Amino acid sequence: MTDSRTLFAKAQELIPGGVNSPVRACLSVQSEPLFITRANGSRMWTVEGRELIDYVMSWGPMLLGHSHPAVVEAVHQAVDQGASFGAPCQAEIELAEMLVAALPGVDMVRMVNSGTEATMSALRLARGYTGRNKVLKFEGCYHGHSDAFLASAGSGVATLSIPGTPGVPEAVVADTLLAPYNDLDAVEALFRTHGDEIAAVIVEPVAGNMGMVLPQPGFLPTLRVLTQRHGALLIFDEVITGFRLTYGGAQNVFGIVPDLTCLGKIIGGGFPVGAYGGRREIMSRIAPCGDVYQAGTLSGNPVAMAAGVATLRELGKADYMDLTRRTKALAGELKSVLEERGVQVQLNCMASLFTLFFATDPVTDFASASKADAVTYASFFRQMRDAGVALAPSGFECAFTSFAHTDEDFEKTLDACRTVHF
């Protein structure tokens, strides 16, 4: 019988860091990944045969739970008909119809293969449509790994961007403007100096990649007003929030219609799918009906489309309010248990997302999130995993619940938390 440690050692010989996406290596929690062989409902099983209650849920996609029978059945049926055609199929229309019907900002939609492709392509379209180059993003928001979004704030002047990683040219991020999340003064200042150069403002309407951070009242509405006033497009990156906050997106919850919407994760039901959509007039600029080029060999893949359609069909019947209430109760009780252990915790929670920050002050942006104690989180992560609960291997991520999580799962999670000590 093999074990995760042996497999990880072998993987590290063959794959950089032993993983195909960095956070999985568990470096920031001073741990090693467990190799998974199977997942069902709220549970995953490691190669050692250990059972884990999962709060990562593939980083969001598995809102119905792992291996939902309706999704599995749809995928089997689709793959029996062929894995990929490179020609149109009906399932593309079905998924597009569902997205258009659910999202007020989406009249037309183009399928891609990941969230990264969705944001990258939406930015190209925004630039093509406006004839402008600059994009304003918020620190701590993640929009995938394409060059333009991998910018960090330079020291000193907050508006000067530097490459967030080697390999990204300075010239590329020179067009990326950065502002702190929830900081409208910074946004207004950037519009004052660069108003006629900004193609788009891109935002996670509820941030999920610096841990969960809520937009403060007025933040999203003001972004809508400012972009409109200056002829820039507002892009909602709903790769996490789409079909998680509600059936639809943050745009339904907050009543704000963005010009472009980026989707991923849930809409592929666990398969590699992304999408970007928006107003008909803007989307009509995409090739072949327009002049902005974007393509994909496997885009609209019939198996992935079938998984997406089946997922959304099930979610259309799901009780989001109930999951919201139960998740909030779980998160609140976890906070209490941790506080009894003498650690200070800030809880941010919405729908089926929450983050427990080991911080003393409320977390409203990247700077306050960064003050959370990563060492305490690492210890929490390791002890919880030893007790059978899989949390994200970084303190700056969300916990994801699903419709498959039972009250018994939550009780067991709280029991695990009661054994934790710092």
Ligand X SMILES: *Cc1c(COP(=O)(O)O)cnc(C)c1O
Question: Toward ligand X, which CB reaches closer, 272 or 290?
Answer: 272
Residue 251 binds ligand X (CB under 6 A): no
Site for ligand X in 5-44 (CB under 6 A): none
Q: Which helix (H) or strand (E) holds 162?
A: strand 161-163
Q: Are 378 and 30 in contact (CB under 8 A)?
A: yes
412 is catalytic: no
Provide long-range contacts, Cβ within 8 A and 24+ apart, for 348-351: 348/211, 348/212, 348/213, 348/214, 349/212, 350/206, 350/212, 350/214, 350/245, 350/324, 351/244, 351/245, 351/246, 351/320, 351/323, 351/324, 351/327
Question: Pattern of binders to ligand X over 212-241, x per CB under 6 A?
Answer: -------------------------x-xx-
Whose Cβ is closer to ligand X: residue 119's or residue 379's?
119
- Dump the DSSP string for 17-71: GGSSSGGGG-GGGT--PPPEEEEEBTEEEETT--EEEESSGGGTT-TT-BT-HHH
Which range binds ligand X by CB under 6 A, 72-80, 124-132, 203-211, 292-300? 203-211
Of residues 398-417, those binding ligand X (CB under 6 A): none
Among 144, 205, 277, 302, binds ligand X (CB under 6 A): 144
Q: Which of 46, 114, 130, 252 binds ligand X (CB under 6 A)?
A: 114
Q: Look up residue 202 and give its two tokens.
A: 């891109």
Give the active site residue among 265, 276, 335, 409.
265
Nearer to ligand X, 122 or 198 (CB): 122
Among residues 92, 183, 204, 409, the one that binds ligand X under rule CB under 6 A: 204
- For residue 301, state whether it binds ligand X (rule: CB under 6 A): no
Pairing of β 43-46 and β 151-153: unpaired
- Cβ neighbors of 418 (< 8 A, separation 6 or more) are 337
CB-nearest residue to ligand X? 115
How far is residue 76's CA from residue 4's CA, in Å, rounded to a whole number? 29
Strand (E) or helix (H) holding 95: helix 90-102
- Is 265 considered catalytic here? yes
The answer to whether 116 contacts ligand X (rule: CB under 6 A) is yes
Residue of 237, 259, 365, 409 marked active site: 237
Q: Report helix, strand or coil for 222.
A: helix
Binding to ligand X by residue 143, rule CB under 6 A?
yes
Please check whether residue 113 is in contact with residue 299, taking contact to mean a CB–CB distance below 8 angstroms.
yes
397 binds ligand X (CB under 6 A): no
Interface pick for ligand X out of 209, 246, 294, 299 (rule CB under 6 A): 209
Give the total of residues touching ligand X (CB under 6 A). 15
Task: Give the angle 321-326-328 at the CA atoms, nearest 5°.
Answer: 95
Q: Which of 33, 65, 180, 208 binds ligand X (CB under 6 A)?
A: 208
Catalytic residue among 55, 134, 137, 142: 142
Of residues 276 and 410, the one with the C-beta less far from ligand X: 276
Rank residues 294 and 379 by Cβ distance to ligand X and give the closer one. Answer: 294
Q: How far is the CB of 301 from ligand X (least distance, A)?
A: 14
Cα separation, 272 vs 278, in Å, equals 21
Where in 257-296 is the site for ligand X (CB under 6 A)?
264, 274
Question: Residue 197: helix, strand or coil by DSSP?
Answer: coil
Among 46, 119, 311, 324, binds ligand X (CB under 6 A): 119
**Nearest approach, Cβ of 144 to ligand X (angstroms)?**
4
Please provide the DSSP assignment of 267-290 as one string.
Answer: GGTTSS-EEEEE-HHHHTTBTTTS
In angstroms, the Cα distances linking 370 to 140, 176, 359, 362, 373 are 9, 22, 9, 11, 8
Residue 137 is inside which H or E element, if any?
strand 134-139
The rounded distance, in Å, linking the Cα atoms of 38 and 19 is 18
| 142 part of the interface to ligand X, by CB under 6 A | yes
Nearest to ligand X of 115, 128 (CB atom): 115
Tell me how far, at minimum, the Cβ of 123 lies from ligand X, in Å: 12
242 contacts ligand X (rule: CB under 6 A): no
Q: Give catalytic status of residue 237 as yes or no.
A: yes
Question: CB 405: neighbour CB atoms within 10 A?
Answer: 24
- Minimum Å gap between C-beta 230 and ligand X is 24
Give the active site residues. Answer: 142, 237, 265
Question: Given the rule CB under 6 A, which residues bind ligand X?
Answer: 114-116, 119, 142-144, 204, 208-209, 237, 239-240, 264, 274
